[in-house]
Structure 1
Amino acid sequence: MDASPSAADADQKAEAPRFVVGSTMRHVLVMTGTGAAGLVAIFIVDLVSLLYISWLNDPSLTAGVGLATVVMFFTISINVGLMIPIGALVSRALGARRPEDARRLATSGSILMAIVAACVSLILLPLLPLLLNAMGASEQTYEVARNFLWIALPTNALMAVGMAFSTVLRAAGDAKRSMYATLSVAAVTVVLDPILIFGFGLKANGAALAINIARVAYVYVCFLYLTRAHNLLVVPRLKAVLADARPFFAIAVPAILTNIAAPVSNAFFTGVIAQFGDEAIAASAIIDRVTPVAFAGVFALAGAIGPVLGQNWGAQRYDRMKQTLKDALTFTVVYVGCVWLALFLVRVPLTHAFNAPPLTADLVQFFCQLSGFIWFFISLVFVANASFNNLGYPLLSTFFNWGRATLGMIPFAYFGARIAGPEGALIGIGAGSVVFGIAAVITAFWTIRRLERQAVPAL
């Protein structure tokens, strides 16, 4: 009589989705660590690519790649917004133990994401002259950025498919294979960059070509993992794709609006910095490449807690959802503090590595001294937004991201630059993020409490 219930309990525990059992801190650390490893690899390769370009001793090349990066940041931000509904819907279906729905949603979401990404590229390409001139590009810088983008933007749809597949892997709790897929991008790029930039003499265009080839590898590796290890893709059906479009875009539209706040504010900041010349733009380009490498853990954390929250919401484990959010904040405090110290210590050799001229070196070193203050409060917004997007409150994410990118950034950066030059603009970014970061985290805990109260009558 006793054996049957215990056997049933064991079977139930064995079938439990990965994030519904075990230490939430361990899940946060494992998901963040594996995600960060892949991101660091990609970001380091991007940083090394810019390093190679800087060795050509032409500030217009460095500035041009920097401006191209701002535009590509816009497309990647839209892709990240499109990833969010895939991760939220698939992880929720898996948490509720509906694998058939998870496979269908993974397939439909990947197709929809690819279509939107292709449309974004088609819209941006003819607008490049307007965008680059608005950011203050000089004649030479404009040519470099435009050529780079005409090579890299057409494969944005491929990048979107790879990101979609990688998100499905993470929604299933397979952070390791997701990391391996991301590492394939880094491996291909690190081999091809010096060959194309120096060997074939293609300079910045060689770096853009390497990006395209790496994206092909990304899609291929992710597809193999999804089909062979998880069986999380099915043959697409138009009826299913159209039916899934509604819940997909219900999350994707506010998530995209949320994510494009960052590249819009970044473009504004670049325009503010551009008035101080190509050396200032080059400094901004270096900062834009150093920041993701240094704070990759924060970027990874925002993607890591989504599946953990989603699966526990599907299982109605609100206690674990609150603990996941607390664990994410603990990680943020420790990580940002360590990175701040590291950047402070390496600020001088970092600028020497890039052969930075005086103004460029001064700005990069100043950022390293200020980075922890800026990124702690931005990280709080990241963590809160991940919670909002995965728990059915995407409009809150939109509000906080745009609030920080507009009221919390534009006036502070503008007047900071007027008062204290480009250094003042950097200070403004940090000062404007304080209120929004604190308010976002408080609101994130409130949303979980609200979901719990709403679930009590149903239970």
Structure 2
Amino acid sequence: MPSSAKLTQGSTFKHVVTMSVTSALGLMCMFLVDLVDMLFLSMLGEKEAVAAVGYASTIMFFTVSLSIAISIAATALVSRAIGERNLELAKRRAVNVLAFGILFSSLVVWFLWPKIPHILFFIGATGRALDLATGYLQILILGMPAVMIGMIGSGIMRALGDAKRAMYATMIGGLVNAVLDPIFIFAFGLGVDGAAIASLLARFSMVAVSYYGVVHVHKMLGEFDLMDFFKDVRCIAVIAVPAMLTNMSSPLANAIVMEHTASFGDDAVAAVAIIGRIIPVIFGGLFALSGAVGPILGQNYGAGRFDRMHQTISSAVIYALGYCFLLCWALYALQDWLVVVFNASPASADLIRFFATFVSFSFFFQSLLFIAIATFNNLGRPLHSTLLNFGRATIGTWPLIIVFSWFMGAEGILFGQAVGSVIFGVLGLYMARNYIVELEEKEAKEILPSGSATGFDEMI
């Protein structure tokens, strides 16, 4: 059980690195298995299988994004209560966010499952690739409630500052998937369906690990009370719904990219699918930034430590810059090896090399957007995150990839995305820094009586 708000003490850079690296190891392990999925399926010698998983992953990214959005609500609400040293409120919010997530994810599965073939066809899947993608997705989407529980459990543990156990849920899920993949794909001869079954079983392993950490180690789930749940639904929705819209914008951008890529043929689709598997593995430490920065900001906001909030933003930017320099160089050096490993066609290989050489460093600017999103989600302005990410997904993606693909072909799709990341990353960081200054000035001008609510509390 947490005894103190540990993220309000010590070096902010150390907290950013610890929270990011542990979260990244878990995420990268999970995404590494997706990369191995693609590798195994490429060994089948059927490019439609690789393209099928690329199409299906666009939809799966959407469902995982919804799970992450609700975990953001768990992290924001629990970390703020911990910063205020209100343990009973933290426990009540934890159990109610979990109930909200289970109910919501079950409804999503019920709604999406019969519509899967039509959605895949809409984003460009046809023929054999459509059939394989449909079978893969109809199996895998059944595990969405398990993913939701695992993500929320990890979010609660991150809110407590327990980055290590938060990592275990996704890491063990990834390891289970890695063990089961070759068994179901090759030993049982199930191909694409085998990869889906292995991933489905791995998602249920995440539930057991998260349950152990949240319930047995931290004892952070209060008793479920229906009236308390109805009281908390509004404060959960105020954060979760804009966060869902924010996270949905990324799969929207991916769907736009995949639909436009389809016009360049299966080789281009396969290349984008491979790149889509490489990105989370290489840049997992950046994707983890939002989940790492959020709890630190939340606890320090609850404690009124604005100086540490400014330090947290600066520490996150320094971390992202160093990470990108190191990993982009590694990606550049490994590009030929990746082409060989994935048995990429010449056309696919050209796109992979173009990404590794010219596009990869744009993820530093995307990390600035992640920092801004974490700031707004955890400090009471989730709609700002929604507007930023939807801006990047729409005007920062669609017109740019169309314009650049006219001049550069399929490579223009990747370059257009990079330009959009630069624009919205810089804008997002500027807005986030100004918002913290605004909160600090508001706090300094107001003399609140003991026990009165801040603006964030009033909002939720």
Q: CA deviation at 1:198?
A: 0.3
Contact 1:111 1:161 in 2 (8 A): no
Counterparts of 2:17 and 2:175, CA distance in 1: 24
In the TM superposition, residue 372 of structure 1 has moved relative to its aligned partner by 2.9
Distance 2:3 2:163 in 1: 19
User: Aligned to 1:154, which of 130, 142, 154?
Assistant: 142
Specify the code of the residue in structure 2 equivalent to 1:438: V
State the match for 2:304 in structure 1. Answer: 316
In structure 2, how many angstroms separate the alpha carbons of the residues matched to 1:122 and 1:420? 42
1:371 pairs with one of 359, 372, 378: 359
Within the candidate set 201, 205, 208, 1:220 is matched to: 208
Asked whether 1:40 is paired with 2:28, we answer yes
* Contact preservation (8 Å) 1:313, 1:321: yes
Shift of residue 322, structure 1, vs aligned partner: 0.5
Matched ranges for 1:198-347 at <5 A: 198-347=186-335
SS of the aligned residue for 1:316 comes to coil
Contact 1:155 1:212 in 2 (8 A): yes
One of 400, 404, 410 as aligned partner of 2:388: 400
Letter matched to residue 350 of structure 1: L
1:458 aligns with 2:447: yes
Q: List structure 1 segments (4+ residues) > 3 angstroms apart after TM superposition.
A: none
The alpha carbon displacement at 1:130 in A equals: 2.3
Is contact 2:4-2:82 (8 Å) kept?
no
Tell me the residue number matched to 2:343. 355
Deviation per CA, 1:342-394: give whole Å up to 9, x if none: 11110011010011111111111111112333212211111110111001111
The aligned counterpart of 1:134 is 122
- Provide the rounded CA distance (Å) in 2 between the counterparts of 1:39 and 1:126: 29
Question: Residue 114 in 1 paired to residue 108 in 2?
Answer: no
* 2:259 counterpart letter in structure 1: G
Amino acid aligned to 1:200: F
Q: Which amino acid aligns with 1:45?
A: V
Per-residue CA deviations over 1:276-334 (Å, capped at 9, x if unaligned) read 11111111110110000010000111110100000000000000001000000011111
Distance 1:330 1:211 in 2: 35
Matched residue SS, 1:458: coil
- Inter-CA distance 220–16: structure 2 relative to 1 (3 Å threshold): closer
Structure 2 distance, partners of 1:221, 1:48, is: 23
Alignment correspondent of 1:8? none
What is residue 65 of structure 1 aligned with on the other side? Answer: 53
> Structure 2 counterpart of 1:154, which letter?
L
- Aligned residues of 1:409 and 1:429 also touching (Cα < 8 A): yes
Instruction: Report the 3-state secondary structure (helix = DSSP H, G, I; strand = E; otherwise coil) of the residue aligned with 2:224.
Output: coil
Would you say the 8 A contact 1:272–1:417 is kept in 2? no
2:189 partner SS = coil
- 1:95 corresponds to 2:101: no
CA–CA distance in structure 2, aligned partners of residues 38 and 307 of structure 1: 17
3-state secondary structure, aligned to 1:137: coil
Give 3-state SS (helix, strand or coil) of 1:260's partner.
helix
SS class of match (2:220):
coil
What is the number of residues matched between the two proteins?
446
Alpha-carbon distance between aligned partners in 2 of 1:50 and 1:434, rounded to the nearest angstrom: 29
CA distance in 2, matches of 1:274, 1:372: 22
1:20–1:315 Cα contact (<8 Å) kept: yes
Which residue among 182, 185, 196 is the counterpart of 2:184?
196
CA distance in 2, matches of 1:330, 1:262: 24
What amino acid is the match of 1:144? L
Q: Distance in 2 between the 1:127 and 1:376 partners?
A: 36
- Gaps spanning 5+ residues in structure 2: where? 449-460
Tell me the SS of whatever aligns to 2:410: helix
Task: Show CA shifts across 1:124-171 (max 9, x none).
Answer: 222222221122112100001000011011120111011111110111
Question: How much does 1:121 deviate?
Answer: 1.8
**In structure 1, how many angstroms separate the alpha carbons of the residues matched to 2:422 and 2:297?**
25
Partners of 1:53 and 1:276 lie apart in 2 by: 22
Where in structure 1 are there 5+ consecutive unaligned residues? 1-13
Q: 1:15: how far off? A: 5.2
CA distance in 1 between counterparts of 2:241 and 2:385 reads 11
Contact 2:38 2:53 in 1 (8 A): yes
* Structure 1 position 115, deviation (Å): 1.3
CA distance in structure 1 between the aligned counterparts of 2:351 and 2:157, rounded to whole angstroms: 39
1:189 and 1:318 map into 2 onto residues whose CA distance is 42
CA contact (8 A) 1:339 1:372 kept: no
